[in-house]
Amino acid sequence: MIAYALARTGSVKEAIIGTALGNLLVAIPAYFAWPWLARIPIHLLQSIVGVLLLWLGVSWLIKSVRRKWHGQRPGWVENPLRAFPGSGESEEMRFSLFKTLVMTKSASIEAFEICMIVSALAVASEAWDAALAGMAAALLGTGCLVIALKGTLHHLPEVDFKLWTGALLASIGFWWLYEGLVSWP
């Protein structure tokens, strides 16, 4: 959604390059780190990922409830670079390294969240191939969905999506934390 908002400002190249760089910055180290994850005791990994998902889910819930309470939408929907004067839509249409870095950071955070969930599932189930294939299919499907819904994404209720996604992540995080602590030696 952030890449779509940035592309709407006329920065399509920056959104595409930043998304690709952000995903690569997480995917390459994750590829080499995954074999080592199998050596970590599952209860420890479940506990760590559980805490991270619980924290992420609760923070999304709090932010979404606050926005619903005040009837607000995220600022990046209207202007993704609102906090940075001089980087708006009126700028000439030349490549911006700054916008690329903003998108790279956003994509890296999203990719890290995905890797965190996929890694925990893959270690727990010992089904690396299935987990990676599922992740690739989800990323491809999401990309196709964004392209197909190009004109209508601006009107989606992203606060509601974030609210329910936060509830889902917090629930999964709580469950994994519980599972990790219960099976602790």
Per-residue model confidence as pLDDT tens digits over 159-175 = 887 888 889 889 988 98
Structural domain including 61 reads: 2-182
pLDDT interval class at 118 (50, 70, 90): confident
How confident is the model at residue 58, as a pLDDT?
Answer: 92
C-alpha 123/C-alpha 120 separation (Å) is 5
CA–CA separation, 162 and 62 (whole Å): 10
Whether residue 64 contacts residue 166, with contact meaning beta carbons closer than 8 Å, is answered with yes
Give yes or no for residue 69 having a pLDDT over 70: yes
Q: Please name the residue ranges forming H helices in the chain.
A: 2-8, 12-37, 42-70, 75-78, 97-125, 128-148, 158-182
**Domain count within the chain:** 1
